[in-house]
Structure 1
Amino acid sequence: MESSSSASPEDTNTVRLLAKGVLELYEPPLATINTHLKELTEKQETVQLMLTSERRKLEDLQNDASLDALLADIATNREKLTSISSTMMNLHKRVQSLQTRAANIEKAAKSRATGVGRPTSS
């Protein structure tokens, strides 16, 4: 039996021819597949960039919507505050008027009380 390290020139030539045949058979489809993979990878990166850009735009729109909602809340709260302030001013004026009226009634009551106890001359 022969040792595997001592290959005959005929076996070596056969191996070379087989390798060349396999390369000729599979190299063009592999090159085409490689080209297609590169194209797909580039397209995928482009799509990813577009999606990222659209996501940022959407987030910006949502942030703008949130800001608009906050500004609307500010306007609503300002209207409420103005209404409350006006109501409080009206109540304050009414209290002052009632206090003045109460003081006048008290004075009139005192005047009557002191007028009733005086002797009348006849």
Structure 2
Amino acid sequence: MAGSSPTTPDDVKTIQLLAKGVMEIYEPPLATINTHLKELTEKQEAVHNMLTSERRKLEDLQNDVMLDALLADIATSREKLTSISNSMMGLHKRVQSLQTRAANIEKIAKNKAAASQDRASKS
């Protein structure tokens, strides 16, 4: 205010009364709002903590499902390996049996050949 006069004691008193009145009007709602904000912040933190906990549980369950799938794969692979191993053992026994049989047939064939030669040389 360009042409205002110096502040008088009455003006100061009026300003103080106005300030006091404004404070009386706005201070209680502001205090209530502050209390509500604190309550909301606490509830928000509680909800955040619950969500974090639930997310961890869900992740643990998903990890359990993946682990169960891996364990099932291991069991299946073990069964396949056992089956292959048993097949290989069976084949090995058959090969040994065939080798023994081939050796016996060869021995018989040599004996027959020797017997034929003996007959041929005696005649």
Bin of the TM-score, shorter chain as denominator length: 0.7 to 0.9
SS in 1 for 2:7: coil
Deviation at 1:119, TM superposition (A): 3.3
CA separation in 2, counterparts of 1:28 and 1:97?
Answer: 103
CA separation in 1, counterparts of 2:79 and 2:11?
Answer: 98
Residue type of the alignment partner of 2:11: D
Please report the RMSD computed on the Cα atoms of aligned residues, expressed in angstroms.
1.8
Deviations 1:47-76 (A, max 9, x none): 011011101111211221122112212211
Match of 1:19 in 2: 19
CA separation in 2, counterparts of 1:9 and 1:75?
Answer: 95
2:101 aligned with 1:73, yes or no? Answer: no
Deviations 1:59-112 (A, max 9, x none): 211221122112212211110111011101100111011101110111111112
Q: Which runs of 4+ in 1 moved over 6 A?
A: none
CA separation in 2, counterparts of 1:21 and 1:97?
Answer: 113
Match of 1:117 in 2: 117
Match of 1:7 in 2: 7
Match of 1:94 in 2: 94
Match of 1:54 in 2: 54
Tell me the matched-pair count.
120
CA separation in 2, counterparts of 1:85 and 1:106?
Answer: 31
Match of 1:39 in 2: 39
Match of 1:104 in 2: 104
- 5+ residue gaps in structure 1? none
Q: TM-score, normalised by structure 2?
A: 0.87
- 5+ residue gaps in structure 2? none
Residue type of the alignment partner of 2:81: L
CA separation in 1, counterparts of 2:119 and 2:94?
Answer: 40
Residue type of the alignment partner of 1:89: M
CA separation in 2, counterparts of 1:95 and 1:60?
Answer: 51
Aligned-residue sequence identity (percent) comes to: 73
Deviation at 1:32, TM superposition (A): 1.6
Deviation at 1:2, TM superposition (A): 7.5
CA separation in 2, counterparts of 1:99 and 1:56?
Answer: 63
Q: Greater share of helix residues, 1 or 2?
A: 2
